[in-house]
Amino acid sequence: MGSILSAHLTHKRSRMSELENIARKSPSELLSIISNMPGVLECAVLKTCNRVEFYTVTNDVGVTKDALERTIGAMLSFDASQNATLYLKDLNSVSHLLRVASGLDSMVLGEDQILGQVKDAYELALSERHIGPRLSVVFRGAISTGKKVRTETRISKGEVSIGSTAVRMAETCIGSLEGKNILILGGGEMASLIAKHLVDRNPNTVFVSNRTYSRAVELAWELNGRAVNFDGMVDHMAQCDVVLCATSATHMILVKEQVERAMEDRGGRDLLIIDVSFPRNVSPDVSDVPGVRLYDIDGLREQAEENIKRRRNEIRDAERIIAAELESLHMRFNEMHADAIISQMYQKYNLMREREVNKALNRLAAGHEPVEIVLEDLASALMNKFLFEPTTALKEASREGNMDKLLMVGEMFRMIGESHVSRDQAPKIEVESHD
């Protein structure tokens, strides 16, 4: 069956800037790396705007953990914290994923997008044949739990996304967005979320710029805004009060020189830039430009903490659902483990049976022995072979004084009742061999 071992790099233990080398790799690349590690039988990778998590099933926890530590360490920034990575095993790993899928481990409590991202991680690992029965049960259970939490609690009600948090951050910094000019860089899911939460703020003009111009047109149409060619974003930045950057690029798309050019035409007005991309798409030295305030995902923590304080009751309700689902999964794992042992047992004893039956048939075909003797020998041979290992286990337990093992084997074969012996009273015995 193997053990579950997971590694977690999240906003709770690290600055997002420390994880950017890992963030630049696609989930498929990371899956390929992890799947080739020693001991790994199954694996999946969950990568979002504020976390990278590796889930594995391994037949050697120590070896796989060493490989994970070396690989992750090589991809972290040189100044990353020594405790940047959290390692979890078995039910602790499962519990963590249930919390993630339910939105309880997100920077923005109750975040809507994470459940879809867990689904995507599962489907990618499945399509690339890196996932097997154990992680399938885990991920399907997490997805089911995430749906249940959202259905039965109010954890996801209201504005619960990084996009909404970025918009609230903008309001905190410059006040109402009504009548303001805003530039959105990006055209994907996060940019769409930002756009969704801008609609009710009544900005003056929203410009949308994306490398794929057609996508910028689509998003601008939803906002009654204007699409901007990517090459012209600096000119439009000069007209804006806020720049909200949310792209999937793995490199810097907005650098200090561009922002300096934009500031030359602003007549001394300040500019707020909020970058929610992971990895970052706005160069950190942009904050050195006079009049510019720059925030990235790490800068959104204060807004996120306020959201947590407002949802204490929903957290308790969600925790109860997660605890019940975790217990259900625990029972399922026990069943899977039992099924695996039973299957191996049947395979093993079927081979013994086939060999002994074939011997008996050959003796009967020779015609030299009475059928009764051949059948008696067959029955004795099967009994001896089937009972050899339980008998050996009983002898070893007796010699070691291991009464728990003695009673367990006896109970498995329905040979010892509670009225016959207790753990304290059971004598040390030698069991007759049937070798």
Q: Any bridge partners for residue 182, and if so which?
A: 206, 242
Helix, strand or coil, per DSSP, at residue 186: coil
- Report how far residue 46's alpha carbon sits from residue 139's, in angstroms, rounded to the nearest whole number: 11
Burial of 86 (0-12, 13-18, 19+ CB in 10 A): middle
**255 with 286: CB under 8 angstroms?**
yes
Is 43 among the catalytic positions? no
Catalytic residue among 43, 49, 240, 245: 49
**109 with 36: CB under 8 angstroms?**
no
**319 with 296: CB under 8 angstroms?**
no
- Report how far residue 44's alpha carbon sits from residue 46's, in angstroms, rounded to the nearest whole number: 7
- CA-based angle 303:297:306, to the nearest 5? 10
* 17 secondary structure, DSSP code: G
DSSP letters for 358-407: HHHHHHHHHT-S-HHHHHHHHHHHHHHHHHHHHHHHHHHHHHHT-HHHHH
**47 with 61: CB under 8 angstroms?**
no
Catalytic residues: 49
